[in-house]
Structure 1
Amino acid sequence: MKEHTPPAPDTPLSVLIVDDEAPARERLRDLLGDIAERHPTRLVGMAANGIEALALLDTTPADLILTDIRMPAMDGIELARHTARLDPPPAVIFTTAYDEYAVRAFELAAVDYLLKPVRAARLAEALAKARRLHPPADTVLRQIATAGRSHFSVSERGRILLVPVPEVLYLKAEQKYVVARCVDREYLLDESLVQLEEEFPERFLRIHRNCLIARHAVRGVARATTSEDGEAHWVILLDGLPDQLPVSRRQWPTVKDALGV
């Protein structure tokens, strides 16, 4: 994770508000105004979900994101995972209407949150800590996430590029990166293949120590040309790509059962 650099003590915090409900966004905006004398802030924008927020951050950086958790298109947890790739990454405080059990999970993970309906005093307390608040670690965010991500994120030319997970046909480890292959192009993910397999067990299937395939993209399997050691082996055929991906002998029994071949 890149280093978080807080603004100088006399500089207003630039804040981005993210919530799918307009009244909730407006309430936070008004509360920031109410406590501005003691905790000066500068509102840089408001967004209805994580995708809109990332689009705003492309042109307008923020020191702090106040984000709801449950939102359509992209929730607050996933947003925080993507914004950790920004340079520098903003601090994140979640706003939530979760029940006591779920809130306890945030406390145990040392992730800062505001319980809805947000009160001015509690918001002031959070802002007082925000200048020294580090973005939550990705390992922590994975633990408290209720679902897998809808997008992968790639840093390209100083901006975050989103890659919809359903468009990825396979994931292949190459040196220190993972190549995410879509129909139109490849993307380099700074992630671990093992972690991706754990996060998306229903979507991706391991066929080799260095490759996961998207189950929905499999067109079929075929017996490949006999290898140098004289043994035939199997390859995966994918919709939309000419690539033939080899299945290791170790993984073939699992792949055969999973694909019903």
Structure 2
Amino acid sequence: MNDTPLRVLVVDDETPARSRLRDLLGDIAGECPNLLAGMAANGLEALRLIEQGGAVDAVLCDIRMPVMDGVELARHLGRLPAPPAVIFTTAYDQYAVQAFELAAVDYLLKPVRAERLAAALAKVRQRRPPADEALAALAPGERRHFSVNERGRILLLPVAEVRYLKAELKYVTARTAEREFVLDEALTQIEQEFAGRFLRIHRNCLVARAAVVGVERAGEQDGEAHWEILLAGIAERLPVSRRQWPTVKQALGL
């Protein structure tokens, strides 16, 4: 590893933990050159700092945090053009640590020791970012945000604001009450992750169950009768395929 200082971002919801990591980075700067790129109290703050301050080489990240936890942060960081290395700091027991090893992310057990931190940073340049699938396995619950890449920036789209998602070619369009966003994700993957939130109404369309305000019969005059979904805040009516109608009808209690 060369002598170019690593730009390190510290993310932890506890002030003493952030201060300790900052001090340890200073202690090991001689053997492992580094620069403190900033400190954040949760994943959302961390992403905002990265957007404002430029590239980061490594993120020291707690796992359990409010607003956005460390695993979801790592998933968003993995979508950056040049994703930083993510090193989790954790109080998990040995069994959980083995899971992080399988996910190909580094980890530091709390309380973090200087020699262990130096060893983790020494491996940063040789480590690949963890696969999204591995991170999803570590935190099988739903994400709170989708990642949207626009003009080199990551926009965080709250999942709760999405009215529907449509598959178009190799991308998925997510529609909110205000606008559309393009996601680089598969519709089937989204359906599996958010099975309780989104309902498939067509082979290429999912709708937010909570946004459905009704259904209407349409197309009877031209002989192509079908049902359409009405969504809150959206003028567009979305057709339900014949194949999906029985499932939709049951899911909506019609």
In the TM superposition, 1:124-163 aligns within 5 A as 124-163=118-157
- Which of 65, 80, 93 is equivalent to 1:99? 93
- Which of 208, 219, 223 is equivalent to 1:225? 219
Matched positions, count: 253
- Which of 17, 22, 25 is equivalent to 1:24? 17
Residue 258 of structure 1 and its aligned partner are, at CA, apart by: 0.7
* Length-normalised TM-score, structure 2: 0.96
Q: CA RMSD in A?
A: 1.3
**Alignment check: 8 A CA contact 1:227 1:233 kept:** no
Deviation readout 1:102-146 (Å, 9 max, x if unpaired): 222112222211111111121111011112111111111111114
- Which of 64, 71, 77 is equivalent to 1:70? 64
Residue 227 of structure 1 and its aligned partner are, at CA, apart by: 7.5
* Length-normalised TM-score, structure 1: 0.93
Structure 1 partner of 2:180 = 186
Distance 2:127 2:21 in 1: 19
Distance 1:116 1:220 in 2: 51
Structure 1 partner of 2:228 = 235
Q: Using CA pairs under 8 Å that are at least 6 residues apart, name the structure with larger relative contact order, 1 or 2.
A: 1
- Three-state SS of the structure 2 residue aligned to 1:131 is helix
Structure 2 partner of 1:56 = 49
The 1:227–1:55 alpha-carbon spacing in structure 2 relative to 1, beyond 3 Å, is: farther
- Three-state SS of the structure 1 residue aligned to 2:123 is helix
Structure 2 partner of 1:4 = none
Structure 1 partner of 2:77 = 83
The percent of aligned pairs where both chains have the same amino acid is: 69
Distance 2:159 2:26 in 1: 39
**Alignment check: 8 A CA contact 1:69 1:76 kept:** yes
User: What stretches of structure 1 move > 4 A for 4+ residues in a row?
Assistant: none
Distance 1:165 1:135 in 2: 24
